[in-house]
Every structure is written in structure tokens, then in C-alpha cells.
């Protein structure tokens, strides 16, 4: 049985992340079409690349041909459109709306994972509830009502299914004939808003940090770092070393003895620690603590380790982050991490030697809050 900090259940309770058994299987069946190959190709081409292109064009070099930016800010902004499109949030096209949307999703993420916050939890929860109310009034509520109207239009034959948007809100409403619990709809949307941004926002700076040091140590040119195959391997390795969540808490529904011989009694909570598991030398080798994008892996072990969970609760949106490989190049998707970093490396991105990255201080998450970078080839200075 899933376990979760009781205070965060008001944000994520009974979502696909926290339900089990038949209920989980049915929810996953309904939502799985949002992450098939055609959907991923659409998100990447229509929601991610145009935003990255615009961000790149907005970063103007100085007279020496270089520009300063922050990797965390770039990543967060690059993801806003894909987050909105996956979830089904309308009305974010104007600059001010975009900035508000990005800020509120970030704050909702902190409240929904309050168990990892180092700030007073009642303060985090209160802030999150207020932001959720504002977010519902401005973005989520109107988006739900537009989709309820579309469900009615579909039933009346005024629109076809092909005319409907392909997102979480629309999917849940159409597949339940508009009867999906409104409160649950808000919580499920909150989960997807957070999940569609947080892993990438976490992984991009870690991948960038490790890869630049690895390139220096191994005599690799800066230009070679834009290679998508290298970036895909590097991002998996960074996710292994820095899992997006510190642990998964489970509660035993009956007395159980694991294959290892460890026993737990019914009702007991158990923490599955992703960090130590991802650095297990018996699985990942004697150098498991080191960054090695060309690491040899045992059969059936993924490069990112346990960072996306496993079994029936394997992250449903994993391919949005990691991409999907295919023998046919036109069917391959790069995923969010590779898409963002490849464009930055094409622009000559490197750490800003004059400014140090800053780790998050209000949470035990292993994440950066700022990561200053420079764009433009060093030879242009």
C-alpha cells in the first residue's frame, strides 16, 4: 500500500501516484494514451521546441559574443508549455500569465512534497492551499469548464473526438462521461503539473554539471557535448546519482517477509531509499559513486536505476523525460532533458566561472535553485 505524508494528501491524495490495485490499473489505462509515441512527438514538436527556440533567440550576446543566463530559470521556463499541454491548462499565452503559471506550479510542487521541506510544514501547506485556490480560479477552473462543454458537444454530435484536446483533463472527463470527481480532477491535474516539470528541472543542472567536468577530465571538446546519444546516457547517469525523490514510503497491509529475509508487520511504514539503491556497487560496479555515461549495466537494469520507480508504479510519464528510441529516426523522441541541453550546448553553454551554483536550502531535495551559465564560444571573447 502506498504511504505518504498525511499533510500532502490534500494535494495528491488518490492520484495515480498513490492508488494501488484495480483503481491504479484503470487510471493508468485511461491516461496511458497521453504518453504514446504520437503524443510524445506532438509535445516535443509543438510544446517544447518552439519554447526553447524562443528562449534561445531572447538570450542576446554582448559585444564579445557571450551571454549570461541561469540554467534553472531556462529549464523551468522551457517546460511551461509542455506542462500546460499535458495537463490541459489554457490561458497561458501572454507573458504575464506565463510568468504567473511558472511561479505557481513551482510553489504547488513544494507544498505537494511538503514531507521533504525543511521549512515549517504548516506554513508550506498554508501557502500551497492559497496558491491552489488562486491557480484554480485563474487557470484550472476555466480549463475544466471548457472541457466539460466539449464533452457535452461530443455527446450532442457537434464535435468529433478528433477535435478534442489531448490532455489529462480532457481524457478523464471523456472516459467517464464528464462524471470524474471534481476534487479528484484538481488533485490529478496538480500531480501532472508538478510531475511534468520537476524531474527535468531537477536533472538538467545535474547532467550539465557532471558532463562538463567529465568532458574536461576526458579531453572531450565542448562541441561534442551536443550529441544526443551522449546526452541521453549522461542524463540517465545523472538521474541515477541524483534521484528526483529521496525515497518512496510504503505501508504494509499485512505481515510480510521479503526475499532478503527482512520482515515487516501490518501497518508498518517502510522507506525505500533511492539514493543508496542507485549507488549499490553490487549492481552498478565498484565505481557506482562516480559519473560514467558509458557505464556497463547488468541485464534489465536501467541507467537511471530506481529514479522512475518500478513495477506497476513505474512513472507513467518517464518517456516524456527520457525520450523514446526507434530504429526509424523520424519516430525517435529526445525527451525534455536532451532537447533542452542539446540546444544549450549548440550555443556553447558552459558554467559561469564568475558565479557559483546554489543548492536548494528549504528542502532535503538534492537540487539546484540557481546555476549560472555562459553562452557563446570562448574563442569569441
Asked whether 265 and 252 are in contact (CB, 8 A), the reply is yes
Query: How far, in Å, CA of 189 to CA of 89, rounded?
Result: 9
What does the radius of gyration of the chain's CA atoms come to, in whole angstroms? 21
Torsion of CA 309, 312, 313, 319, to 10 degrees: 70
Query: How far, in Å, CA of 326 to CA of 332, rounded?
Result: 5
What residue ranges do the domains of the chain occupy?
A: 9-380
Per the structure block, which three cell numbers stand in for 27? 487510471
Per the structure block, which three cell numbers stand in for 113? 512534497
Which residues in the chain land under pLDDT 70? 1-7, 378-381
User: Given this model, what pLDDT does residue 253 score?
Assistant: 85
User: Given this model, what pLDDT does residue 3 score?
Assistant: 47
User: Given this model, what pLDDT does residue 380 score?
Assistant: 42
User: Given this model, what pLDDT does residue 116 score?
Assistant: 86
Nearest 5°: phi and psi at 370? Answer: -145, 150
- Taking residue 52's Cβ as centre, other Cβ atoms within 10 Å add up to 21
User: Given this model, what pLDDT does residue 10 score?
Assistant: 87
User: Given this model, what pLDDT does residue 378 score?
Assistant: 66
CATH class label, 9-380: mainly alpha
User: Given this model, what pLDDT does residue 1 score?
Assistant: 43
**67-70 and 263-264: which strand pairing?**
unpaired
Q: Which of 3, 171, 199, 177 is nearest to 82 (CA)?
A: 199
User: Given this model, what pLDDT does residue 47 score?
Assistant: 94
Amino acid at each position: 500500500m502506498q504511504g505518504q505524508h498525511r499533510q500532502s494528501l490534500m494535494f495528491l491524495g488518490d492520484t495515480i501516484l498513490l492508488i494501488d490495485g484495480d483503481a491504479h490499473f484503470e487510471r493508468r489505462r485511461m491516461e496511458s494514451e497521453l504518453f504514446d509515441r504520437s503524443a510524445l512527438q506532438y509535445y516535443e514538436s509543438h510544446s517544447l521546441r518552439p519554447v526553447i527556440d524562443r528562449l534561445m533567440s531572447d538570450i542576446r550576446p554582448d559585444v564579445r559574443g557571450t551571454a549570461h543566463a541561469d540554467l534553472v530559470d531556462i529549464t523551468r521556463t522551457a517546460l511551461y508549455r509542455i506542462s500546460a499541454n499535458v495537463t490541459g491548462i489554457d490561458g497561458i499565452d501572454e507573458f504575464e500569465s506565463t510568468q504567473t503559471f511558472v511561479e505557481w506550479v513551482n510553489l504547488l510542487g513544494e507544498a505537494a512534497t511538503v514531507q521533504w521541506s525543511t521549512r515549517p510544514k504548516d506554513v508550506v501547506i498554508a501557502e500551497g492551499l492559497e496558491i491552489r485556490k488562486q491557480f484554480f480560479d485563474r487557470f484550472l477552473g476555466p480549463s475544466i469548464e471548457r472541457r466539460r462543454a466539449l464533452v457535452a458537444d461530443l455527446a450532442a454530435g457537434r464535435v468529433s473526438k478528433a477535435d478534442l484536446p489531448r490532455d489529462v483533463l480532457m481524457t478523464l472527463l471523456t472516459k467517464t462521461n464528464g462524471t470524474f470527481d471534481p476534487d479528484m480532477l484538481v488533485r490529478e491535474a496538480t500531480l501532472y503539473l508538478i510531475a511534468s516539470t520537476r524531474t527535468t528541472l531537477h536533472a538538467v543542472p545535474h547532467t550539465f554539471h557532471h558532463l562538463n567536468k567529465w568532458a574536461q577530465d576526458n579531453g572531450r571538446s565542448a562541441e561534442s557535448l551536443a550529441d544526443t546519444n551522449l546526452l541521453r546516457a549522461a542524463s540517465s547517469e545523472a538521474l541515477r546519482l541524483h534521484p528526483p525523490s529521496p525515497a518512496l514510503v510504503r505501508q504494509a497491509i499485512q505481515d510480510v517477509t521479503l526475499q532478503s529475509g527482512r520482515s515487516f508487520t501490518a501497518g508498518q511504514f517502510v522507506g525505500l531509499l533511492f539514493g543508496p539503491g542507485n549507488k549499490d556497487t553490487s549492481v552498478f560496479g565498484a565505481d557506482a559513486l562516480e559519473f560514467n555515461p558509458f557505464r556497463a549495466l547488468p541485464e534489465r537494469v536501467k541507467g537511471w536505476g530506481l529514479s522512475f520507480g518500478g513495477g506497476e508504479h513505474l512513472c507513467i510519464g518517464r518517456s516524456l523525460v527520457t525520450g523514446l528510441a526507434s530504429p526509424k529516426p523520424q519516430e525517435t523522441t529526445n525527451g525534455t532533458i536532451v532537447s533542452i541541453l542539446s540546444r544549450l550546448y549548440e550555443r556553447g553553454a558552459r558554467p559561469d566561472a564568475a558565479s557559483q551554483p546554489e543548492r536548494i536550502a528549504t528542502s532535503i531535495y538534492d537540487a539546484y535553485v540557481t546555476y549560472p551559465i555562459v553562452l557563446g564560444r570562448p574563442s569569441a571573447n
